[in-house]
């Protein structure tokens, strides 16, 4: 009898394990960069250095899924971003580590040089509901260009750059007739100086997304709103992106508007393309501009062109040239930046 109970327990444990899966995946992405900054005062400085995250995001990620039955699944994801160039524990993590970080992280704090996406979700026929710090719907729209959130893509310049938020709930609907809707909400905090650690006030954030994908056409619209708090005005960022597969080439356009003063403060536009060349090579290009309608009148332009060679399912090499210009730059701010880089990305 005792042996039978042990056998049943072992069988139950094996069955439960068979319905769950956990993966450890990751990315390494260092590159060599030659960069020249020309400042508002006319001075120019050139640097050569290693850069992190020029094509992908260097990270180690743990993710898993458990089948709960009845079409329900429990899912988790935990990213840990790191910098391939520095040992954060030693002298290598000094001033130069932050001067040329080159990465884009926002919203969560993990070990290493940056944060990462992290959430627990429940998914099924109703869609998916995630709690934690999941990527925003707006990020999906802003990252459609060939360079994504990386250098040359204009992320943060042409479209304000939205990655993820702490304390957020994200719902994604099932896809119906090509349409998928999503909604993200990050809770506000009220200023509290009574505890041992002061808490600053932050307005609540909502992000609504709608995607339509049918054959070669994909269209995305998102509206990212930060509520007013204290003396800070409410702000709304709207993003529109459309891509079209013309054979094996991907063509795209994007538009961004930002409103905070009661009128449209900024308008950004972007066109981009990925065109296969011979063998495993492809050509990638992007051009965008942002029109600053405030009295500051700090218009910007960014152009980028590059190639990528996919060596295997997990490894690629790439090269890129990027130029950015900024109008009415302050004396100590960059008026023009040019970057030439070559890099390698490998995934596991």
Q: Is residue 260 part of a domain?
A: yes
Q: Is residue 14 part of a domain?
A: no
Query: Is 210 within 8 Å of 219 (Cβ atoms)?
Result: no
User: Is residue 97 classed as helix, strand or coil in its secondary structure?
Assistant: helix
Q: What is the pLDDT of residue 230?
A: 83
Residue 29 has pLDDT above 80, yes or no: yes
Query: Is 251 within 8 Å of 217 (Cβ atoms)?
Result: no
Residue 102 has pLDDT above 50, yes or no: no
Average pLDDT, the chain: 88
Q: What percent of the chain has pLDDT over 70?
A: 86
Q: What is the mean pLDDT of residues 135-139?
A: 96
Looking at per-residue pLDDT, the higher value among 111 and 201 belongs to 201
User: Is residue 138 classed as helix, strand or coil in its secondary structure?
Assistant: helix
Q: What element of type H or E holds 9? A: helix 2-18
Of the listed ranges 82-96, 208-222, 245-259, the least confidently predicted one is 82-96
Residue 263 has pLDDT above 90, yes or no: no
- 306-324 pLDDT, tens digit per residue, is 999 999 999 999 999 999 9
Number of domains the chain contains: 1
At residue 104 the predicted structure's pLDDT band, cuts being 50, 70 and 90, is very low
Q: Is residue 188 part of a domain?
A: yes
Provide the domain limits for residue 215.
34-347
Which of 2-16, 198-212, 242-256 tops mean pLDDT? 242-256
Q: What is the mean pLDDT of residues 225-250?
A: 94
Q: Is residue 206 part of a domain?
A: yes
Q: Is residue 93 part of a domain?
A: yes
Looking at per-residue pLDDT, the higher value among 276 and 231 belongs to 276
Q: What is the pLDDT of residue 189?
A: 87
Q: Is residue 15 part of a domain?
A: no
- The CA distance from 131 to 134, in Å, is 7
At residue 191 the predicted structure's pLDDT band, cuts being 50, 70 and 90, is confident
User: Is residue 98 classed as helix, strand or coil in its secondary structure?
Assistant: helix
**Could you tell me the two tokens for 241?**
């992106």
Q: What is the pLDDT of residue 248?
A: 95
Q: What is the pLDDT of residue 106?
A: 32
At residue 88 the predicted structure's pLDDT band, cuts being 50, 70 and 90, is low
Phi-psi region of 18 (alpha: psi -120 to 50; beta: other; left: phi over 0): alpha
Q: Is residue 24 part of a domain?
A: no
Q: What is the pLDDT of residue 115?
A: 79
Residue 90 has pLDDT above 60, yes or no: no
Residue 142 has pLDDT above 60, yes or no: yes
Q: What is the pLDDT of residue 243?
A: 98
Residue 141 — φ and ψ, nearest 5°?
A: -75, -35
Of the listed ranges 34-38, 179-183, 194-198, the least confidently predicted one is 194-198
The CA-CA-CA angle for residues 61, 62, 63, to 5°, reads 115
Q: What is the pLDDT of residue 66?
A: 97
Residue 110 has pLDDT above 80, yes or no: no
Q: What is the mean pLDDT of residues 247-271?
A: 94
Indicate the pTM of the whole model: 0.84
Q: Is residue 23 part of a domain?
A: no
Looking at per-residue pLDDT, the higher value among 72 and 89 belongs to 72
Residue 1 has pLDDT above 80, yes or no: no
Looking at per-residue pLDDT, the higher value among 38 and 85 belongs to 38
Q: What is the pLDDT of residue 221?
A: 98
CATH of the domain at 339: 2.40.160.10
């Amino acid at each position: 009898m005792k042996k039978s109970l042990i056998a049943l327990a072992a069988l139950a444990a094996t069955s439960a394990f068979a319905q769950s899966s956990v993966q450890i995946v990751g990315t390494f992405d260092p590159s060599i960069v030659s960069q020249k900054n020309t400042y508002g005062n006319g001075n120019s400085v050139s640097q050569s250095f290693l850069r992190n995250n020029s094509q992908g995001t260097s990270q180690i990620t743990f993710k898993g899924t458990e089948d709960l039955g009845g079409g329900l699944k429990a899912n988790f994801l935990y990213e840990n971003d790191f910098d391939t160039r520095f040992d954060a524990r030693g002298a290598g993590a000094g001033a130069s580590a932050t001067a040329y970080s080159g990465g884009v992280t926002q919203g969560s704090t993990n070990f290493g040089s940056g944060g990462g996406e992290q959430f627990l979700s429940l998914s099924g026929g109703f869609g998916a509901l995630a709690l934690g710090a999941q990527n925003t719907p707006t990020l999906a729209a802003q990252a459609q260009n060939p360079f994504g959130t990386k250098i040359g893509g204009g992320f943060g310049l042409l479209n304000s750059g939205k990655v993820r938020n702490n304390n957020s709930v994200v719902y994604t609907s099932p896809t119906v007739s090509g349409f998928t809707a999503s909604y993200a909400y990050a809770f506000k905090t009220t200023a509290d100086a009574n505890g041992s650690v002061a808490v600053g006030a932050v307005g609540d954030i909502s992000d609504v997304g709608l995607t339509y994908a049918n054959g070669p056409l994909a269209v995305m619209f998102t509206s990212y709103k930060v509520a007013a708090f204290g003396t800070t005005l409410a702000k709304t960022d709207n993003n529109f992106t459309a891509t079209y597969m013309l054979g094996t080439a991907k063509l795209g356009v994007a538009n961004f508007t930002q409103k905070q003063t009661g009128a449209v403060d900024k308008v950004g536009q972007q066109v981009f393309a990925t065109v296969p060349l011979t063998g495993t090579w492809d050509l990638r290009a992007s051009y965008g501009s942002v029109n600053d309608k405030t009295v500051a009148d700090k218009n910007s332009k960014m152009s980028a062109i590059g190639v990528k060679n996919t060596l295997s399912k997990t490894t690629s090499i790439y090269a890129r040239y990027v130029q950015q210009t900024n109008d009415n730059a302050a004396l100590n701010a960059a008026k023009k930046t040019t970057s030439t880089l070559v890099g390698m990305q490998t995934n596991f």
